[in-house]
Structure 1
């Protein structure tokens, strides 16, 4: 079974631009949506994302919707625990491509570390 992993110095998931995620209301509670919107900076990136060091400044305290956990993905996307790993990998590939491009160093690192390692 494929195993999802986050790669350091990526941060694609920290690009929160609401116009690129038009279905937010479908998977966030009203309270989570308010919190999400409060985290979006003018440039579409999370205000808690340190772009220079490419790190989350609130990683240990980040909201539940920022965490890749079976129960979170089940609640938000109705993804079963058995489907979570491949779903999360596919989400990362799609998001990295949309933010950095399919030939970016971030994509190369993700494919090498996660996708090829699970082939």
Structure 2
């Protein structure tokens, strides 16, 4: 069974361009929306995303809306904890496709890591 997990050095979720997420006001509190918008760099990427390492520089202290946790997704999106795994997988696939492409290395790595892609000896 596919199981969601964050795949290191992907960073697709760090592409925060608000034009890609027109419904931000529907699920973020006004203070969270202000924080979100303050994190968007000129290129649409989070200012905390280190493009060289492809990792978040504030991961341990990242905002609530950057966390894939049952209580956060239930509060923000109305996703029941039992539905979180499938919802998170679908969200990641959509975001990775939008940022990198549907057959990108990032998409292939994600699918392999969560258990929905082909398993091979090739280190993606």
TM-score bin (small chain): over 0.9
Aligned position for 1:53: 53
Contact 2:2 2:116 in 1 (8 A): no
In 1, the alpha carbon distance for the partners of 2:88 and 2:115 equals: 11
Task: Supply the distance in 1 between the matched residues of 2:54 and 2:84 (Cα, whole angstroms).
Answer: 25
Residue 2 of structure 1: how far off its partner (Å): 3.7
Q: For 1:1-119, what aligned pairs fall within 5 Å after superposition?
A: 2-116=2-116
Higher relative contact order structure (alpha carbons within 8 Å, sequence separation ≥ 6): 1
TM-score between the two structures when normalised by the length of structure 2: 0.91
- Mapped to 2, the partners of 1:115 and 1:46 lie a distance apart of 28
Partners of 1:37 and 1:86 lie apart in 2 by 27
Q: Deviations over 1:76-119 (max 9, x none)?
A: 000000100000000000000000001110001011111427xx
More helix per residue = 1
Mapped partners of 1:52, 1:2: distance in 2: 29
Structure 2: state its 5+ residue gaps: 118-124
Inter-partner Cα distance in structure 2 for 1:43 and 1:116: 31
- CA distance in 2 between counterparts of 1:2 and 1:111 reads 9
Give the gaps of 5 or more residues in structure 1. none
How far apart, in 2, do the equivalents of 1:2 and 1:27 lie? 27
Q: Could you give the per-residue CA deviations for residues 15-37 of structure 1, whole angstroms, max 9, x where no partner exists? A: 00000000000110000000000
